[in-house]
Structure 1
Amino acid sequence: MLALGFFGWVIIGGLAGWIAGKVMDDKKGLILNIVLGIVGGLLGGWLLKIIGVDVEGGGLIFSFVTCLAGACLVLWIARLLGARSRG
């Protein structure tokens, strides 16, 4: 199977962050959404590894879904923290 490694997670995470920005209707901008997507992808992969899911053998689609879910989670948390700091 395709082992993505760190750079694979960065590339797929960036794409997932861009898509997550569209899905979450986030207005942070392209660059920040990509960065948050990369962070979300790494976080999602790390969390799945902790609970025992084989993220390295999951394949490209599994990795993309993991990154997309992680990016949406990070964008949602960022939105909550932003609203809390303004409120």
Structure 2
Amino acid sequence: MGVIAWILVGLIAGAIAKALTPGKDPGGAIVTMLIGIVGGLLGGWLGKVIFGVESINGFFHLSTWIAAIVGAVIVLFVYRLFTGRARH
């Protein structure tokens, strides 16, 4: 799976990650999309590094979506850590 496919998966994964992690985030839909894209790419990279698989399995496989959503949740958590400190 290429970078463009991971970006597509990331867009959806960002929305899912935001729905799974309650709380207010500064930023709107664009920030959510960027978090999802970065998270999707991070999930794909972690799949390669940790599990030694090339681009997980494919666009429609569950492992691809799980990796992207986990990556997006990680990026959202880090984003909240940095923006939470900036607001105080």
Asked whether the two chains share a fold, i.e. TM above 0.5, the reply is yes
How much does 1:42 deviate?
0.5
- 2:10 is aligned to 13
Q: Could you state the TM-score of these two structures normalised by the residue count of structure 2? A: 0.81
**Within 5 A, what are the aligned runs for 1:44-83?**
44-59=43-58, 60-83=61-84
Consecutive unaligned residues of structure 1, counting only runs of 5 or more, are none
Runs of 4+ in 1 over 3 A off after TM superposition: none
What is the alpha-carbon root mean square deviation over aligned residues?
1.7
Consecutive unaligned residues of structure 2, counting only runs of 5 or more, are none
How many pairs does the alignment contain? Answer: 84
How much does 1:57 deviate?
4.6
Q: Could you state the TM-score of these two structures normalised by the residue count of structure 1? A: 0.82
